[in-house]
Chains A and B, each alone.
Chain A
Amino acid sequence: MNEPARRLSVVVLVLFLALMGAASYIQVIGADDLNQDPRNVRTLYREYGNFRGPIVVDGEAVVWSQPVDDPFNYQRSYTQGSLYAAATGFYSIVYGRSGLEQTENALLNGSADALFWTRLGNLFAGEQQQGASVETTLSAGLQEVAAEQLGSQRGAVVALDPATGEVLAMVTSPTYDPAVLAGHDTATVNENYAELLAREDGPLINRAIAGDTYPPGSTFKLVVAAAALEGGYTPDTELYGPQQLALPGTSRTISNFGDAECAGDEYLPLSDALRISCNTAFADLGMSLGWGVLERKARDFGWDEPLEIPLPVTASRLPESPNESETAMSALGQFDVRATPLQMAMVASAIANDGVLMKPYLVDTVRASDLTVVSQTEPEEYRQSMSAEDASDLTQMMVGAVSDGTGRAARIDGVEVAGKTGTAQTGQDTPPHAWFVSFAPADDPVIAVAVIVEEGGETGSGATGGSVAAPIARSIMERAIQLDAEGDL
């Protein structure tokens, strides 16, 4: 009976090899598929179960993980959640992540390659994986002013430090509180999300960088003026600015705001045309320069190129081979020209920074849980948008627009402010978008800001950039100058 017993033991060996093969398949070869199966809550629990790093504004955590006694171990918590939602985004067990919570996820949850040594340390200390903290460039003070000034009006504010590209403020309105999506009760989160999604004013949309892009209106004249200066024009070059300008090839005409005259004799210098935002003069200028020149200059300021700050920024758009009349309309920031508020802030920032456009960024420093610096963003030149000389000329023209032009509402006592208004038509029956882009102080700028209030805001159809958006920009610049003087910016 020994021989069959031996054979039987071989059969057993084969059976066990089958088990080992199957286990290897499940745990190694097929493991990825199983781990990514949406029904596998383990991956979710593991992701949510670790300590997630905070998101910091001005040295204070505005988003942090609080230990709780449930399967997720931590509850993502927010101070002034709605104030920072545009930057932080949400972190939900049902709907995943958005904003910095998404782009900085690997750092926040501690799985990033850059945190390898920290993880190793945790492993040896028998500690849980610890996420890094993400310190933003935002200024709490400016963020608050911007949100307060926008109030319940739909719109957005973006403020940049022209010298570095730091995003000092990013506010979108209406917004939401990420806390309502961060709960661990799936039913409530579903309900809250559905509610936010159903709202017509789109609170989940980040209008500052990734909403529907807006027609920039007259703020685009800054780009046209920059192109003209580069093409040999001076602030004193006389432009043709009649009361009505016929659009070639159409029966339509371009008129000025309120059908006003730009100059008595139909000719006015470039600086005046920008100061009073003369439509006919810029339409004519745009046609004389030609679309190719305008397009190149717009690209120098960042049009046609998506950005990551690290939040993904929608590319601002330009029309494709417009004809003469379309070029005229484009020169006024209408037709198919579209821009994000961030793009317009970048225009102001480049002019403010001697023509050098710094790459905008939102994340300053990333620190591991032991407070060592994991990464620090260095300011980076993004584009040479125009020459320093042209930038200086354009700055003076913008100063004129504020001191004695359409942007008077942005004047600040004792400070030279450079700005440009925009009132972008959106349709026959809807009020215009009110724009204001500016920087201050004009000689040594600490802030460049772009404000848009959709469809005239509370003012409605009578709204202009000067009346609705300029006062908001003014408050923000004033606060920035004050913070800068206190050394807090």
Chain B
Amino acid sequence: MATVSELQVRTGRRAEIALLGVSWAIIVLARALVDYHADFLELRTLGIYAAAAAALMLGCHLLLRRYAPSADPVLLPAVLAINGVGLAMIRRIDFGYAQYRGRETAFGDTQIGWTVAGVLLAMAVIFVIRDHRLLRRFTYTAGVVGLALYLLPLVPGLGVTINGARIWIDLFGRSLQPGEFAKIAMVVFFAGYLVTNRDTLALAGPTFLGLRFPRPRDMGPLLLVWAAALLLMVYQRDLGASLLFFGIFLGMLYVATQRISWVVTGVALFGAGAVLAGTIFPHVRARYDAWLNALDPDLYSAGTSEQLVRGLFGMASGGLFGTGLGEGRPDLVPYAESDFIIASIGEEMGLTGLMAILALYLILVQRAFRTSIGVRDGFGKLVAGGLGFALALQVFIVVGGVTRVIPLTGLTTPWLAYGGSSMLANWIIVGLLLRISDQARRTTAEVAE
């Protein structure tokens, strides 16, 4: 069919380079503004930064052209824009700490290192994993590795407790959060397991109270890993991660089996668990209190809700358009560079800037779902959808915590917040999504032919 064979399928690489140009401008301008307001503007260092960013972007682009020519053109520019704004914001907070707090920090410079490492890691993922279906072979390995990673912080001599949560390990003097990586392993495990067992899970099994429940032998391994991981996180007092993990599990189970009743059961169970935890554990109870009565003077002065409220003050002072980068006081909020970077952005870039960041995340997640729908193999669908949903849920949990939609729990804002583990893990996600999207869009091209 001559007419059809002539059809040129757009790979999107040209759109990607154009979007990368926009992201590059945002990244460089944000840093220039921060330096300008801190009276630190040096054209030479800014030039090096701009050139390095351009080189890195061009490198990615060329690698994608060669090894994943049909990959989604929006993913990389969107992630880089978020990441670049984060870098500028963290650098600005460094200046703020130095100016007002007498604290000499170099979060910004460290974060640049993590970013470069993350981008390289994502590219390595694309280079090494030529076909995502390869990962399905490692379904159970992923499950075991995931659990092991969750366990690592509990190993004596290796794990460190920071702020009451034992989720870090000390590796060569750097603290790492293995849980961030375990998240990816778990998505791979769930995807592999569910794609193999979805039919038996959904169709075979006893009926109870009008609901069909899966046979224990089908559901067993899944529940085992899930329960083990959840218990570990609760034990480590990592509330945000438990919520995220539970959510990913339910989301992927739903996509695989289409059983809405299971989701409802799961949410109900989680709700019951949350209420129970609130009555049993004082530290959970305190989170609820701080969430519901954040402005209560007693809770504020006791420090229970102080961080949250300070974040709210920061965002309120930003208003619609923000104070301008470098013009606000984000340093007044504890952990302005990590857990509360969203409040810092709200303060200095205003509601407008915050909305833009949220919109970028939303675009990313929607592209992930689009990849999930476009790719032909079930495993790819589940991995892409699972990773997309994991991103969305993580953003919701952390931003929702800061904006009082849900109780505050400790989680990092992907690519935005200061932190190496989170940066590396989330860039691995970008690599995986790019890889799967290449397949998804190539499939479309094949179908078109």
Contact = CB atoms under 8 A, between A and B. Distances in A.
Contacts of A16: 358, 361-362, 392, 395-396
Nearest to A71: B100
A31 B317 CA distance: 7
A415 interface: no
B366 interface: yes
Grouping DSSP codes into helix (H, G, I), strand (E, B) and loop, the A interface class, with mixed when no group exceeds half, is helix
Interface in B280-313: 295, 300, 309, 312-313
Contacts of A152: none
Interface stretch (A36-44, A85-93, A445-453, A457-465): A36-44
A418 B342 CA distance: 72
Contact of B258 (A3, A24, A34): A3
Interface stretch (B85-93, B151-159, B248-256): B248-256
Nearest to B250: A8
A23 B319 CA distance: 10
Given A9-B369, A26-B346, A18 B358 contact: no
A18 B309 CA distance: 19
A443 B100 CA distance: 62
B33 to A, nearest CB: 10
Interface string A51-82: 00000000000000000000100000000000
B369 A6 contact: yes
A272 to B, nearest CB: 70
A12 interface: yes
A20 B405 contact: no
Interface string B30-48: 0000001000000000000
A45 interface: yes
Nearest to B257: A4
Nearest to A38: B297
Contacts of B254: 4, 8
A161 B392 CA distance: 72
Contact of B315 (A6, A8, A23, A45): A23
A35 B318 CA distance: 10
Contact of B313 (A9, A20, A37): A37
A46 interface: yes
Nearest to B255: A4
Task: Tell me which of A6, A15, A32, A45 has the highest count of chain B C-beta atoms within 10 A of its own C-beta.
Answer: A15
Task: Tell me which of A16, A19, A71 has the highest count of chain B C-beta atoms within 10 A of its own C-beta.
Answer: A19
Contact of A35 (B100, B258, B317, B385): B317
B32 to A, nearest CB: 12
A19 B256 CA distance: 27
A125 interface: no
Interface string B387-422: 011001101100110011100000000000000000
B313 A42 contact: yes
Interface string B319-344: 11000000011001000000000000
A32 B320 CA distance: 12
A198 interface: no
Nearest to B323: A46
B369 to A, nearest CB: 4
B116 interface: no
B182 interface: no
B174 to A, nearest CB: 31
A5 B403 contact: no
Contacts of A26: 312, 315-316, 346, 403-404
Grouping DSSP codes into helix (H, G, I), strand (E, B) and loop, the B interface class, with mixed when no group exceeds half, is helix
A27 interface: yes
Interface in B356-391: 358, 361-362, 365-366, 369, 372-373, 378, 381-382, 385, 388-389
A23 B313 contact: no
A314 to B, nearest CB: 36
Contacts of B351: 23-24, 27-28
Contacts of A46: 317, 329
B346 A39 contact: no
B385 A27 contact: no
B369 A22 contact: no
A127 to B, nearest CB: 12
Contacts of A15: 392-393, 396, 400
Contact of B346 (A2, A8, A27, A43): A27
A12 B392 contact: yes
A194 interface: no
A19 to B, nearest CB: 5
A121 to B, nearest CB: 16
A1 B315 contact: no
A196 to B, nearest CB: 28
Contacts of A42: 313-314, 317, 328-329, 332
B312 to A, nearest CB: 6
A13 interface: yes
A342 to B, nearest CB: 41
A104 to B, nearest CB: 24
A3 B372 CA distance: 11
A359 to B, nearest CB: 40
Contact of B378 (A1, A34, A126): A1
Contacts of A5: 255, 369, 372-373, 381, 385
Contacts of B185: none
A34 B350 CA distance: 15
A380 B65 CA distance: 80
B324 to A, nearest CB: 10
B362 A4 contact: no
A27 B318 contact: yes
Contacts of A24: 351
Contacts of A31: 315-317, 319
A27 B309 contact: no
Task: Tell me which of A12, A27, A34, A37 has the highest count of chain B C-beta atoms within 10 A of its own C-beta.
Answer: A27
Contact of A43 (B312, B317, B382): B317
A15 B358 CA distance: 11
B5 to A, nearest CB: 27
Contact of B405 (A18, A33, A35): A18
A26 to B, nearest CB: 5
Contacts of B313: 34-35, 37, 39-40, 42
Given A5-B372, A8-B385, A22-B403, A34 B316 contact: yes
A312 interface: no
Contacts of B346: 23, 26-27
B406 to A, nearest CB: 9
Contacts of B264: none
B354 interface: yes
Contacts of B223: none
18 contacts: A1-B378, A2-B381, A4-B254, A8-B255, A8-B389, A12-B366, A12-B389, A15-B393, A16-B395, A26-B312, A28-B320, A28-B351, A30-B316, A31-B317, A35-B316, A39-B309, A39-B313, A42-B313
Given A4-B255, A27-B350, A42-B313, 5 more contacts: A9-B369, A12-B362, A16-B392, A23-B346, A26-B316
Interface of B: 36, 100, 251, 254-256, 258, 295, 300, 309, 312-320, 328-329, 332, 346, 350-351, 354-355, 358, 361-362, 365-366, 369, 372-373, 378, 381-382, 385, 388-389, 392-393, 395-396, 399-400, 403-405
